[in-house]
Structure 1
Amino acid sequence: MDGYARHVKANLSPEQAVEMQAVDGLAKKLLAHIVDTTAEIAALHVHGAKSKAIQDHFAILLREELGFGEEVVLTPQSGLVTQARPDFFFELMDGRGIIAEVERGGTITNNHDLKDLWKAHVAPDAHHLFLIVPHNNWKGDGSPRERPFQTVARRLGAFFGDPRREIDVLSVHVFAY
């Protein structure tokens, strides 16, 4: 699909490969939800709309159907003054999980995508990131202002594929709505 990008560390242990199967299964369900509700999302994602409306739409699937917790405070990283509180969190097993973030207007203009990747990197109990971003953000006249998905998929991909530049996140899945 033109609205999905998957980035995974170059070298996986056998345990990580099994974990990736579970993560990919959840990603597939999220992707199907986006495809199945395209018209509903388009009605919500208009110029001037509240970001909360988009987050609430995805909460139906993530929280109610897949079992993600909402606004869960993650374990603080030792030595850092942070208490990451992602939009959604799914515990795969004790100490391992998926952060899911829903972005809208500030995805690239305010670098929310990089902040979300950082959040996944420093949280000791998060190893995967689901980042849900717009294909386009709109101007008041209905024309595209920017295309976050293309930019986010490209720049987050820079942290994968070569062990020298990889960070402590096993996978990033970027979904476009």
Structure 2
Amino acid sequence: MDGYARHVKVNVLAGQAEELAAVDRLAARLLAHIEATQAEIALLHVHGASSRSIQDHFAKLLREDLGFGEEVVLTPQTGLVTRARPDFFYSLSDGRGIIAEVERGGTTTNNHDLKDLWKAHVAPDAHHLFLMVPHNNWKGDGSRRERVFPLVARRLGAFFGDPRREIDVLSVHVFAY
């Protein structure tokens, strides 16, 4: 599908491979949900609509079916003044988890995608990021303002593929809605 991008560190350890397989299974369920509810999402993602309506749509699956917590305050990183509170969080095991963020209008214009990656990077209990972004954002006249998904997938992919560039996030999954 042209609405999903997966980025993983070059060197994955044996224990991490098992964890990554579990993360991939959750990602597959989220992707199937997006594909199955495209018509409903299209009605929610219109110019001027509330961002909360999109988040609520994904909350049904993430919270109720997959077991993500909503707006969980993560463990603060030593030395940083941060009270990271992602849209959703899933605990894989003690001290390891997935941050899930739903973005809309400010995804690239306000660098929310990079802020979400930073949040996953500095949180000691998050090692994976699920980022849901629009295929496109719209103008008031209904024309396309920007192609969000390809830009976000490329920007976040820059942090993977070469051990020198990689950050402390094992995987990033970008989903287009």
Say yes or no: TM over 0.5. yes
* Structure 2 residue matching 1:101: 3-state secondary structure: strand
In the TM superposition, what are the counterparts of 1:59-138 in structure 2 within 5 Å?
A: 59-138=59-138
- Distance in 2 (CA, whole Å) between partners of 1:138 and 1:49 is 11
SS in 2 for 1:105: coil
Q: C-alpha distance in 2, partners of 1:70/1:92?
A: 15
Between the aligned partners of 1:153 and 1:59, the Cα distance in structure 2 is: 22
Q: 2: distance between equivalents of 1:122 and 1:87?
A: 16
Segments of structure 2 that go 5 or more residues without pairing to the other structure are none
Aligned partners of 1:95 and 1:83: how far apart in 2? 16
Aligned to 2:158: 158
Q: Deviations over 1:21-68 (max 9, x none)?
A: 000000000000000000000000000000000000000000000000
Alpha-carbon deviation of 1:121?
Answer: 0.1
Instruction: Confirm whether residue 21 of structure 1 aligns to residue 31 of structure 2.
Output: no
Show structure 1 runs of 5+ residues with no match: none
SS in 2 for 1:174: strand
TM-score (norm 1): 1.00
- 1:142: how far off? 0.6
* SS in structure 1 at match of 2:97: strand
Percent identity, aligned pairs only? 82
Structure 1 CA distance for aligned equivalents of residues 21 and 150 of structure 2: 25
TM-score by length of 2: 1.00
Q: Alignment partner of 2:131: what SS?
A: strand
Letter in 2 for 1:154: R
Q: CA RMSD in A?
A: 0.3
Q: Number of residues paired by the alignment?
A: 177
